[in-house]
Amino acid sequence: MSRTIAVIDYGMGNLRSVSKAVEHVADPGDRVLVTDDPGQILAADRVLFPGQGAARDCMAAISDHHLNQAVREALESKPFFGICMGLQVLMSHSEENGGTDLLDLIPGQVRRFPEVRDERGRLLKIPQMGWNRVRQRPHPMWRGIPDESRFYFVHSYYVQPDDEGLVVGITDYAVTFASVLARDNLFATQFHPEKSAAAGLRLLRNFLDWDI
């Protein structure tokens, strides 16, 4: 049976890369829509919520596109995949831009990486930009992906949920941080699966097949 997969467009995500990656792993009859139409988002079978940029700009763009309610309803009703800033804006509050209130769909904070020196005394570069390992905690979305597989990250901030039980992926950079959260029909990653080669494509395929 064909499925409709909506990629939410609020002007702040790497939409072409995400949509092309999903098309690559989708079945021939599936439709991938890049859309800011709340009706299309809520009618879709599955929803991806990508994002990049600064927290305040992302929140303003979501509001400008009148997507706050559609995101909330989609998150409550269907398989939902948040990517990078599409994870962070689900939280309650971010330290970015001097403090920014977020969608508050997952209680918790978004913290900036601390300044940390490496073994040679050099400051660790912020943002983290490049490949890093993810230590998995049990979740069906990891099917077929070896533990400690490497994924592609670009970020200066990381999420800190109030409920540690939501964390299903952990990564080390400056601190040990939650790189993947999951709850019910939600799965959200700090890394970019669409830029993460075979492991990222497998994760997207698992999302299409995820039976919640």
Q: Which are the catalytic amino acids?
A: 84, 192, 194
Given a contact cutoff of 8 angstroms between Cβ atoms, the answer to whether 158 and 110 are in contact is yes
Rounded alpha-carbon distances, angstroms, from residue 123 to 6, 99, 111, 115: 40, 24, 18, 7
- Where do the H-state alpha helices sit in the chain? 15-25, 38-43, 55-64, 68-77, 85-88, 197-209
b/e code 67-93 from CB counts within 10 Å (16+ = b): beebbeebbeebbbbbbbbbbbbbbbe
Helical ranges in 65-144 per DSSP H: 68-77, 85-88
